[in-house]
Every structure is written in structure tokens, then in C-alpha cells.
């Protein structure tokens, strides 16, 4: 489904997640680099101080050890304190007392004046080592000072900080994704209201959208409101035109009927009967077209179809109308409402039941399938009458078609049913009733979202 909300949500979520990923990557190296730079600044200070003491001590190894003892602080005197140094002057070397009897592999300076390395230390320590090369004079031996500090505790603090920061970033991203979704839903709400308004307009309901919408959406809201207003005006004109046509044709048809009676009274029954046939055809055509105009311009309504209650009242009325036949009308319908116009459904079921009662012997059955998908109304009207020959089934619903000319009516009932079904883009099927043996009329109507 090509959803604008889904596309915007995925795009913005991807941007947020990419920003979170970049932040997470930055948290892997930036805190460590910041802390190590601070530690290296202290190590450079200690290395410079040790170099000055070593240069002042001269070539005597004993003097070198005495001069450097305690020069950089007492931490270099405590065994395994995590602070170590190594001074090399030519063949001479001097280690800090903190190394104790452990062999701490302090690196020697490579080519260049300074090198920084990570080396393993005693007792599981992790050392950050700085080696600096000093040259006093061309003929004097170089002095190389290596100082190291245990950063295991710092690594633990950095790991804890990174974990807390990543958890905070993940929580913030989750909150931002939820807020982003809500803001998108709120921002697109005018579009959803416009869609709902169009659906209500399609069902014939009166609808007007408020004007409180973003500037980008407001033109569409105004267009929907203008369309609804224009639609209502057009339906009103259609309804008035249909009424005017009805009144205009009633008098000429009455005059023609009277003329047919006068011709029959003069003894010309053949011409009078032919005239009555044409008059009936004109009347039935007029009634059918007027009914179609009423379907197109029935006006707005918000009354939905309450299946069980309204069909029960309709069945009771038809039983009284056909009381001479003592028809039993059985209803197998769910107790629910359908999002379709009540008047249209009463017109549809009224014509179907009236047609079934005319042909039934004793029994008519109405069923609405409650097991179908929520987006569809499926119903069947069966009777126990003689049924319809197979070669006539495809012709049922044609305006003016009557299976038995001796039965009352103009043959418009099923034609009206066909118009209503077509209005809802549904399907209409005629067949043999499997249980009662008469005619079965099956109707399926797609339902708009309620």
C-alpha cells in the first residue's frame, strides 16, 4: 500500500536512526581520545621533569638514580602503583621503583622525538606509554625517557559512560520516533478528514470540513467543501426537476387514459387496448426514471440500516398487505447496522419481498450472511413459488418485463432493485432457491468504511 504516512515515517525514522548511529560511533572513540590526551599531557610533564633531573645528574649511574628518585612524585616509588618510568642514557638505564621486581615491558622510543603506545602491564594493568627522545649536544649521548600510566580504571569509566550514553540515546530515539509518528498523524489528519468527507458525500451524507488546516492542505479542503456544496445543489435541482416532470406528465396520461376509455365505449376495444398498453409503458417508464432520479437526488441522510429491526417492521407490513395468502416471512439476519442508506435498503428489500410475496405459496425467507468480510453486505431472498425458467433468468430486472401478465404490477420492482445495486457498485444474481425451490435473488453490496 502506497501510504504517505508510512513513507514519511520510514524516511524520518531512517534519518533519526542514522543520526543515532553516527552518535554511537562517535561515542566509541571520542571519550577515549579526550581522556588519553589529558593523560598524555601529564606524562609529557613527567617526562620533561625526569629528563631535566637526568641531564643534571651527569654520567654517574648512582647519581642518575639518586637524581630521578622522587623527581616525578611519590607514585613512581610505590610498587605496582600504575605509574612507571624508564630512563635510558647511552648504555645506562634506570627504572622507577614502582616496577618492583616485575618486568614491565616499557617501549623504547622509535625514530623521531616521541611515540605513544598501549602495552600490557603487571597485575592485569593496561598501560598508556609515552617515550620521548632528547638530544643535548651532538657529542653527548641521547636521553630517552619512557613514562607509563595504568588506564584500566579509566577504560572502565569510559565503558560505563558509553553504556549510559548509548542507553540514553536509544531511549531518546524511541521517544522521538513516537513523537514523530504522532506529529505526522496529527499533521495528516486534515487529509483523513477530507477522505472521510468524500466517503460521506459518496453515501449521500451532508458534509462540511472546517477551515482549520495547514496552508498546504487548505486548498484541497476548500475544494472538497465546494464540491459538497455543488453536489447538494445539483441533487436538489434533480429532485425538483423530477417532481416537476411527474406533475407535468400526470395530466396528459390521465387524458390519454380517458381517451382510451372513450374509444372502448365506442366499441373499438382493439385500439383502446393498444392505447392502454402504450399508456402503461409510458407510466412505468416515468415511474422508473423518477425513481432513479430519487436515488440520485435523495438528499443527505445519516441514518444507517439497522438490519433486524427495520426488516422486521418491513416484513410485518408486507404480511398485512398479503394477508389473503397467509405468507410466512422468515428473517435470518444479524442484529447489527450497516453503513448504507436506510431508505435505499428499505426500497431494495421492500421490492424484493413484495415480489417474493406475490409469487410465493406460503413461505419467504430473507437471510443476510454475517460471516462475510466486514466490507460487504451479502443477502438472499428466497420464496417457495414456481420459480423462473432458466431462459428467463438473465432477463429478470428488465424494466417492464412481467413473467405473468395476470399478476398485478408493472414489472418495475426488480428493475428498481437493479438500479439500487448498480448505485452501490454491487452484484445481483437470480437463481433457484436451494431449500424452498422458488426464486432466489442474491445481492452483494460493497460497504464503505464506517
Instruction: State how far the Cα of 92 lies from the Cα of 59, in Å rounded to an integer.
Output: 9
DSSP string, 255-284: HHHHHHHHHHHTT-HHHHHHHHHHHHHHHH
pLDDT of 98 reads: 81
pLDDT of 380 reads: 92
Is residue 205 packed enough to be buried (19+ CB in 10 Å), middle (13-18) or exposed (0-12)?
middle
Instruction: State how far the Cα of 323 lies from the Cα of 215, in Å rounded to an integer.
Output: 63
Average pLDDT across the chain, whole number: 78
Instruction: State how far the Cα of 9 lies from the Cα of 15, in Å rounded to an integer.
Output: 10
DSSP string, 374-402: TTEEEEEEEE-S----HHHHTTTT-TT--
State yes or no: pLDDT of 365 exceeds 90: yes
pLDDT of 103 reads: 67
State yes or no: pLDDT of 404 exceeds 60: no
Lowest pLDDT segment from 8-17, 196-205, 254-263: 196-205
Instruction: State how far the Cα of 71 lies from the Cα of 46, in Å rounded to an integer.
Output: 9
pLDDT of 300 reads: 46
State yes or no: pLDDT of 221 exceeds 80: no
State yes or no: pLDDT of 125 exceeds 70: yes
Q: Which three cell numbers stand for residue 341?
A: 442508506
Instruction: State how far the Cα of 378 lies from the Cα of 388, in Å rounded to an integer.
Output: 22
What is the Cα Rg of the chain in Å? 48
pLDDT of 136 reads: 64
Lowest pLDDT segment from 266-280, 329-343, 392-406: 392-406
Nearest to 392 by CA among 376, 382, 403, 406: 403
| Cβ proximity of 400 and 284 under 8 Å | yes
pLDDT mean over 65-90: 79
State yes or no: pLDDT of 373 exceeds 80: no
| Cβ proximity of 297 and 235 under 8 Å | yes
Q: 437's torsion region: left (phi>0), alpha (psi -120 to 50) or beta?
A: left
pTM passes above 0.85: no
Residue identified by cell 445481492 is: 443
Question: Which DSSP category does 43 fall into?
Answer: H
Instruction: State how far the Cα of 407 lies from the Cα of 99, in Å rounded to an integer.
Output: 120
State yes or no: pLDDT of 239 exceeds 50: yes
Nearest to 311 by CA among 339, 341, 342: 342
pLDDT of 146 reads: 87
Amino acid at each position: 500500500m502506497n501510504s504517505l504516512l508510512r513513507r514519511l515515517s520510514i524516511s524520518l525514522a531512517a534519518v533519526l536512526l542514522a543520526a543515532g548511529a553516527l552518535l554511537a560511533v562517535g561515542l566509541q572513540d571520542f571519550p577515549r581520545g579526550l581522556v588519553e590526551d589529558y593523560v598524555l599531557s601529564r606524562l609529557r610533564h613527567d617526562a620533561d621533569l625526569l629528563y631535566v633531573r637526568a641531564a643534571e645528574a651527569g654520567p654517574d649511574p648512582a647519581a642518575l638514580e639518586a637524581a630521578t628518585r622522587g623527581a616525578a612524585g611519590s607514585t613512581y616509588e610505590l610498587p605496582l602503583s600504575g605509574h612507571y618510568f624508564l630512563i635510558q642514557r647511552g648504555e645506562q638505564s634506570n627504572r622507577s621503583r614502582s616496577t618492583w621486581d616485575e618486568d614491565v615491558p616499557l617501549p623504547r622510543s622509535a625514530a623521531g622525538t616521541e611515540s605513544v603506545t598501549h602495552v600490557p602491564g603487571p597485575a592485569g594493568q593496561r598501560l598508556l606509554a609515552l617515550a620521548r627522545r632528547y638530544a643535548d649536544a651532538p657529542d653527548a649521548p641521547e636521553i630517552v625517557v619512557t613514562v607509563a600510566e595504568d588506564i584500566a580504571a579509566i577504560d572502565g569509566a569510559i565503558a560505563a559512560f558509553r553504556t549510559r550514553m548509548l542507553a540514553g540515546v536509544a531511549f531518546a530515539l524511541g521517544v522521538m520516533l513516537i513523537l514523530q509518528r504522532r506529529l505526522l498523524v496529527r499533521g495528516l489528519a486534515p487529509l483523513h478528514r477530507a477522505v472521510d468527507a468524500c466517503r460521506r458525500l459518496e453515501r449521500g451524507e451532508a458534509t462540511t470540513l472546517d477551515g482549520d488546516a495547514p496552508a498546504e492542505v487548505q486548498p484541497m479542503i476548500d475544494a472538497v467543501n465546494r464540491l459538497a456544496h455543488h453536489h447538494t445543489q445539483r441533487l436538489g435541482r434533480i429532485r425538483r426537476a423530477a417532481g416537476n416532470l411527474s406533475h407535468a406528465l400526470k395530466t396528459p396520461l390521465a387524458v390519454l387514459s380517458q381517451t382510451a376509455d372513450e374509444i372502448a365505449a365506442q366499441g373499438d376495444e382493439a385500439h383502446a387496448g393498444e392505447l392502454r398498453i402504450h399508456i402503461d409503458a409510458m407510466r412505468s417508464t416515468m415511474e422508473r426514471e423518477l425513481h432513479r432520479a430519487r436515488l440520485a437526488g435523495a438528499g443527505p441522510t445519516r441514518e444507517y440500516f439497522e438490519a433486524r429491526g427495520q426488516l422486521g417492521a418491513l416484513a410485518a407490513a408486507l404480511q398485512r398487505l398479503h394477508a389473503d395468502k397467509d405468507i410466512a416471512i422468515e428473517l435470518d439476519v444479524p442484529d447489527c447496522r450497516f453503513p448504507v442508506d436506510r431508505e435505499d435498503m428499505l426500497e431494495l428489500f421492500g421490492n424484493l419481498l413484495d415480489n417474493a410475496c406475490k409469487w410465493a405459496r406460503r413461505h419467504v425467507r430473507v437471510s443476510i450472511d454475517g460471516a462475510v468480510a466486514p466490507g460487504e453486505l451479502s443477502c438472499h431472498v428466497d420464496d417457495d413459488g414456481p420459480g423462473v425458467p432458466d431462459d428467463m433468468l438473465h432477463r429478470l430486472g428488465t424494466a417492464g418485463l412481467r413473467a405473468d401478465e395476470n399478476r398485478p404490477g408493472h414489472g418495475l420492482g426488480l428493475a428498481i432493485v437493479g438500479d439500487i445495486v448498480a448505485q452501490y457498485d454491487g452484484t445481483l444474481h437470480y437463481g433457484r432457491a436451494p431449500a424452498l425451490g422458488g426464486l432466489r435473488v442474491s445481492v452483494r453490496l460493497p460497504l464503505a468504511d464506517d
